Structure 1
């Protein structure tokens, strides 16, 4: 059974991991699709703003015309490459505020529902003549050169497009009284980027329903697995407890039944029939064993009751009188054992309780203290916070481990006592005691450490 549970747990964990991977992959694919769709719509919304807006178009013509003039000067060796790039930066910086303002006005007309920024980045400027290919600016060798637009960090996923500007240029210039003709081709490459505030959050927001449903399904699966495994473990525990109970009750019944069988056989013998003294002794033995059997049956029937099934008949008692009487009766039952017994029960307060049931509960706990190695028992009582009667029973026995303390008051449960071979019982005493105290709306607390004794504290509302 244990191996089956272990295999079930392993298979469940593997299945849960597989489900997590599959569900994670599906969510990732859905996110990628939603993201792509969102970005494409944003690109589509701003795709024609730069080229088809008169205000922006005139600004673009201004810096392009300025650049062509500077390239002409470069072709005539009047400017260096660096000076051309610096002049381009100067002109774009000067018109950029107007460009941003005009661009934002156009974005407002689109009513996108989110904040969007745009800028154009220079990637390459190349002049091609009959003799050579001359690179003025190359993006790979330089940091991004923002031509126009707002400042933000470029994200590859938010690249809108690559722009190519190709034109042929021819002009003549008189230098040193000589007419000089210049011809070249301009290859100008730029890239357009957008930036959307918290665009990942916007995409996730569009997936809200999918994410919530996925999380709920995942939690339901985990809950079902947990419930199934817990139920199986509980069933195994109950089966083990019932098996132990059957073994214990069988053991308990065997002794009186064997004695009764032996006594019956003795009564059948002819030599016994003529001896009244022997017959009386055998009959007394039969009565004792019959009483023992009856007590075992009553213990199983009565001690299996839950607290809601216990019908209390409360009486008002004086605490010290009642408790001292109970302890005196208990001492008489253990006269054959050497026990050091101390008590502190001087409360004159009155309390309403069912004497029969509470006495049974106290006897069960005291018997356990003796049964599990206690040679010194200390019983004390007090009123706590003017609300509860607290009765503490302390012993110096073998103690109870933390793991066993959690199960101590379960029906049929018995602490594993491998080192003690003469401890008998059905595992009902502490369960029944707990039910009795619960019926009085009280509690039983246990404090213990292996090898250092145990303290039971009964609390009953005054």
Structure 2
């Protein structure tokens, strides 16, 4: 039993851990989805801010014209690549503060509701000749960090991509080459990237998930609390059950000694002619003996019923079924004092059965005694046996019957039908429980069909290969 409890606790803990893992996985997935949705919403709200704002669009146009002039000077070899980048960087720095102020004003009008930083960076600058074959790379982010063009400065890791722009077009400029004004044409490939940085986006996403997180934590704590309470109750009930069993076993064993002494004293009184000479004395001694025997039987019943079917050690033997059953019924009839009890036998089977005679006899006797105890004024019991691949014994009576709602509990330990405080029939509620354990030990089953005031039918089935 202790192993089963430990196994149950281990399985429960593993189940809780598995549930926690699944819940954590689902929360993590939800967090990622919320993050993606939040970033997408923000991207959508600022994606065309540059184009729709006249101020920002004007700044971009001015920067673009300045940049194209630098490329034209580079194309005719007036400046170097380094000078292109340095000049461009200096110019962007000069207008950047105005750009940021204008951008933040546009954001404020949109009422986004949280702090946001924006930047425009350059990933690639490539000049191509008119043939489109010869490429001259001025800048590439694959070799060096991205070139900051406009907006706030923050690292790539701190931001999120909003959009990419690839500008591929041809340009016509007039430049003085070798003292002559010459029209030059070149193709330009410019790849820019818009990025944003949302201050405290993690808190915003978690805030959107607050209700889900609180519900998840609440459910987890509830399940954990229920599991803890259940395990604690199980351990407590097991301890109480062990204490009860030990107490019952100890008290019954302790009662055995004085009862044995009382039995010996009763026999001595019966054999002493000087004491039992009068009928009154004989009656008193007989009463003492009967009650002593009854008390011993009750104690034996308590001791025997502390065993489960797994603990019952059977010593099986092959018995002729018909003769065995008739002998049990005849012995039971002899033990009855009343002539108002009738037992009808319908046993016509020749097969043999493998059983433990002592335990199986006890089981059948318990069912018969139950029929007599709960019988009406005139008790009639019908006993029949058949063999069709399995041994089937049916014992029915015309007694007071059992309410349907109490039938499922009939084989529970200490259960008694009806009022638990007042019983017209004496007993401990162990007979049918013990009978069920014996039948289970024989790999069989016992079933009951009954209705109130319509008697009861007990059917015992034992497989032939048990």
In structure 2, what is the equivalent of residue 15 of structure 1? 15
In structure 1, what is the equivalent of residue 113 of structure 2? 113
Does the residue aligned with 1:141 lie in a helix, a strand or coil?
coil
Aligned pair partner of 1:137 in 132, 136, 139: 139
In structure 2, what is the equivalent of residue 205 of structure 1? 207
In structure 2, what is the equivalent of residue 221 of structure 1? 223
More deviation in 92-101 or 138-147? 138-147
| Contact residue 51 and residue 57 of structure 1 kept, 8 A | yes
Does the residue aligned with 1:140 lie in a helix, a strand or coil?
coil
More deviation in 229-238 or 87-96? 229-238
Question: TM-score scaled by structure 2?
Answer: 0.55
1:360-416 deviations in whole A, cap 9, x for unaligned? xxxxxxxxxxxxxxxxxxxxxxxxxxxxxxxxxxxxxxxxxxxxxxxxxxxxxxxxx
Q: CA deviation at 1:227?
A: 2.1
Over 3 Å counting, the alpha-carbon distance change for 1:151 and 1:215 in structure 2 is: same
Q: Distance in 2 between matches of 1:55 and 1:219?
A: 55
1:268-311 deviations in whole A, cap 9, x for unaligned? 4549979xxxxxxxxxxxxxxxxxxxxxxxxxxxxxxxxxxxxx
In structure 2, what is the equivalent of residue 162 of structure 1? 164
| Contact residue 159 and residue 195 of structure 2 kept, 8 A | no
In structure 1, what is the equivalent of residue 235 of structure 2? 233
The number of residue pairs the alignment matches comes to 277
1:416-458 deviations in whole A, cap 9, x for unaligned? xxxxxxxxxxxxxxxxxxxxxxxxxxxxxxxxxxxxxxxxxxx
Q: CA deviation at 1:127?
A: 0.6
More deviation in 92-101 or 72-81? 72-81
Q: CA deviation at 1:180?
A: 4.1
Q: Distance in 1 between matches of 2:181 and 2:153?
A: 45
| Contact residue 168 and residue 188 of structure 2 kept, 8 A | yes
For the pair 1:26 / 2:15, whether they are aligned, the reply is: no
Does the residue aligned with 2:156 lie in a helix, a strand or coil?
coil
More deviation in 101-110 or 26-35? 26-35
Q: CA deviation at 1:6?
A: 2.5
1:189-218 deviations in whole A, cap 9, x for unaligned? 111111111111111111111111111111
For the pair 1:61 / 2:61, whether they are aligned, the reply is: yes
Does the residue aligned with 2:194 lie in a helix, a strand or coil?
strand
| Contact residue 76 and residue 177 of structure 2 kept, 8 A | no
Q: Distance in 2 between matches of 1:34 and 1:157?
A: 17
Q: CA deviation at 1:171?
A: 2.5
Q: Distance in 2 between matches of 1:112 and 1:212?
A: 26
Equivalent runs, 1:277-426 vs 2, <5 Å: none
Gaps of 5+ in 2: 277-466
1:213-237 deviations in whole A, cap 9, x for unaligned? 1111111112222222222222221
Aligned pair partner of 2:149 in 147, 153, 159: 147
Gaps of 5+ in 1: 275-462
Q: CA deviation at 1:5?
A: 1.7
Q: Distance in 2 between matches of 1:177 and 1:134?
A: 25
Q: Distance in 2 between matches of 1:91 and 1:173?
A: 21
RMSD: 2.6
| Contact residue 266 and residue 272 of structure 1 kept, 8 A | no
In structure 1, what is the equivalent of residue 71 of structure 2? 71
In structure 1, what is the equivalent of residue 351 of structure 2? none
In structure 2, what is the equivalent of residue 245 of structure 1? 247
Over 3 Å counting, the alpha-carbon distance change for 1:119 and 1:4 in structure 2 is: same
1:248-284 deviations in whole A, cap 9, x for unaligned? 112322222223333333444549979xxxxxxxxxx
1:17-46 deviations in whole A, cap 9, x for unaligned? 332232223222322222222212211221
Q: Distance in 1 between matches of 2:51 and 2:4?
A: 71
Q: CA deviation at 1:238?
A: 1.3
Q: Distance in 2 between matches of 1:260 and 1:227?
A: 49
Over 3 Å counting, the alpha-carbon distance change for 1:88 and 1:140 in structure 2 is: same
| Contact residue 159 and residue 193 of structure 1 kept, 8 A | yes
Over 3 Å counting, the alpha-carbon distance change for 1:18 and 1:33 in structure 2 is: same
1:156-198 deviations in whole A, cap 9, x for unaligned? 8721111222221123433334454432111111111111111
Q: CA deviation at 1:124?
A: 0.7
